């Protein structure tokens, strides 16, 4: 899936990016070749997706919503997945014990 070029950052995303040392350029890098891990097609007001991408060797997860009418990708949040919670490759969550 190719995400629209116009990026909109929610306030929550900006706060979390600052806390987690994730730059706008990192988000753009992830969106160049994202792997969709989960689809939330019934989310409102827009369908959203959990995607995985890489900035150099650093894994980054984004939650993005798509406003196709306005050709916008809305960045909801961004974080570096933890190896404690995610399986190798950061594609799936580990089962809770």
Strand ranges, E, within 1-97: 6-9, 35-40, 48-55, 58-67, 72-79
**For the chain, what are the domain ranges?**
6-79
Q: Residue 28: is its pLDDT beyond 80?
A: yes
pLDDT band of 59, cuts 50, 70, 90: very high
| For range 63-79, the mean pLDDT | 95
Tokens 């988000």 identify what position? Answer: 27
Burial 39-74 (b: 16+ CB within 10 A, else e): eeeeeeebebbbbbbbbeeebbbbbbbbeeeeebbb
| For range 35-61, the mean pLDDT | 95
The answer to pTM > 0.75 is yes
Question: Candidates 2.60.40, 1.10.3470, 3.40.50, 3.30.2310; correct CATH number of 6-79?
Answer: 3.30.2310
């Amino acid at each position: 899936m190719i995400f629209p070029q116009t990026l909109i950052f929610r306030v929550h995303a900006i706060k979390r990016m600052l806390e987690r040392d994730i730059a706008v350029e990192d988000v753009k890098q992830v969106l160049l070749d994202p792997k969709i891990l989960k689809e939330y097609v019934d989310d409102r007001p827009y369908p959203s997706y959990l995607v995985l991408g890489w900035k150099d060797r650093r894994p980054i997860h984004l939650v993005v919503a798509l406003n196709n009418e306005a050709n916008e990708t809305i960045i909801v949040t961004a974080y570096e997945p933890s190896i404690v919670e995610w399986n190798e490759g950061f594609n799936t969550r580990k089962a809770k014990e």
